[in-house]
Amino acid sequence: MLTCTPKRLPRSGHAREALRRKGQFWTPDWVADFMAAYVLQDKPDRILDPAVGEGAFFRAIRRHAQRHNVNPLLFGRDIDAKVIAQAQATGLSPHDLRHVELRDFVLDPPTTLFPAIIANPPYIRHHRLPPSQKQRLREFVCQSTGLTIDARAGLHVYFLIRALQTLAPKGRLAFIVSADICEGVFAPALWQWICSRYRLDAVITFAPEAAPFPEVDTNALVLLIRNTSPAQTFIWAKCKERNSSGLAALVTNLSHKQYPGLQVYQRSLGEGLTTGLSRPPSNSISSRYTLSQFASVMRGIVTGDNDFFFMTSARAQELGIPDALLVTAVGRTRDIIGDQFTQQDLLRLENQNRPTRLLNVNGVPFDRLPKSVQKYLKSGEQKGLPAKTLIRTRNPWYRMETRKIPPILFAYLGRRSTRFIRNRAGAVPLTCLLCVYPHQASAEFLASLWAVVSDPETIQNLKKVGKSYGGGAIKVEPRALERLPLPDHLVHSTGLAQYLAPQQAEFDFNRHAPWSCAILPGDDGCIVQG
């Protein structure tokens, strides 16, 4: 049996960046094996790997083909000749690779359909795609499916769409991809299209201790799909240990019984699409309460150019900007130590020459601004700030978003730093943090809410609503945070439940919140951009 030593990311930053540009993260053998077992079940005569790389799937197919009594022809695509050469070094012969072409799979697809497709498509995030390539990819999807894919979709999304279009009737597809394919803004439209045309057999996720790519900052999942009539249920599993013997049994039987090393559910398709295919089923979340019943969530301020608008007190004084045109703010999660942010922390940041003052001249006509401020704004014009993407939509260009001071902040992206923070410093956050506005103004309500959201049990529930990344990192967007389950016993033991009205009216935190202690110049409410 041929084996391949698990790849580790290169230590060199240059080498790591080269891998990221190409999206090359090699599949471990134990994952390739169960994916191969799935696509081999119907004894296909041909199998396509549209992103061959170092040939992990070809090797897995060769290992398993004999037990399935099949000898399929191996077809493949890749755009990197170097990795094809490396594939031979890992045990594949020129004969094995004779049908591998150096061609772009998505934009120059095969002309024939395949009964089995297996792949680890390149994980290239949208910001690394050249604008011309991204435009061609979006045009291909629109013309062939009628979908308008959000520009934030990575290359792996387009690979999946093209692969499904290349899958023969009754064919099987196994893809290992980043979990964001089920979580991004493009996901609802994508999965509506997929699930209305194909049968989703299974989604297999991985616990952190079983991560296929432990050194990569993204979580992976495996999609098993057939080109047959859609079904109303699918299998969802979490693999809790590497090399689990239960994986091969699961993909062969596709039943929801329990297998070694796996947590398995049979889910309705409707529930899965609503909850999120990468997340545990909603029926595993035993809570009657969510954060939305007690608080509203908004993102922090997007300045468009932190270097210009966000500064230290010393810098503001040097420029001659009066305090009346400055707002106390916090710009980085790592500037906050622990779960309390105080006036002493602000002083510490100032002593460390960290910015804490946000320029906000909203509502003051330019000709009524101090000359020093006029001069500074003109310097911004000379630097081309009015033409920047986020700034050019504002009128005037230096108009700043505003936020009421939130009593609770939320650090929404990190491994160990994802947490709620009690905002005792009276600061507004920039976009690195979320604002949590309680629905009631009393100190007692705030104390009860803080006791619930800061509890470790609630923090654990963040995994149920956040987007997952490698190494245990999660990202939680504002609307997702509002769906955060609050443990029933905590809601009752802290007295928070008593504040729930039988019918909750929408709360106007701008009108009722006592923490709105700072009146911003020309404040006309919160501006929310999608």
Location of each CATH 3.40.50.150 domain in the chain? 26-284
* CB-based contacts of 313, cutoff 8 Å, min separation 6: 350, 356, 357
Residues recorded for the chain: 530
**How far from the centroid of its chain's Cα atoms is residue 467's Cα?**
4
Identify the CA nearest to 201 among candidates 143, 141, 269.
269
Distance, in Å, from the CA atom of 118 to the CA atom of 224, rounded to the nearest integer, reads: 9
User: Would you give per-residue pLDDT tens digits along the chain (530 residues)?
Assistant: 233 334 444 444 444 444 444 444 578 999 999 999 999 999 999 999 999 988 999 999 999 887 778 899 999 999 888 877 888 887 788 888 999 999 999 999 999 999 999 999 998 887 788 888 989 999 999 999 998 888 888 899 999 999 999 999 999 999 999 988 988 788 889 999 999 999 999 999 998 888 888 766 668 999 999 999 999 999 999 999 998 889 999 998 898 788 999 999 999 999 899 888 988 887 665 578 999 999 999 999 999 999 999 999 999 999 999 999 999 999 999 899 989 999 999 999 999 999 999 999 988 999 999 999 999 999 999 999 999 988 999 999 999 999 999 999 999 865 556 899 999 999 999 999 999 999 999 999 999 999 999 998 898 888 888 876 655 567 888 988 998 999 999 999 999 999 986 544 343 434 333 333 332 333 332 222 22
When the candidates are 3.40.50.300, 3.30.300.30, 3.90.180.10, 3.40.50.150, the CATH number that belongs to 26-284 is 3.40.50.150
Distance, in Å, from the CA atom of 130 to the CA atom of 409, rounded to the nearest integer, reads: 36
pTM of this structure: 0.68
CA quadruple 378, 382, 383, 385: dihedral positive or negative?
positive
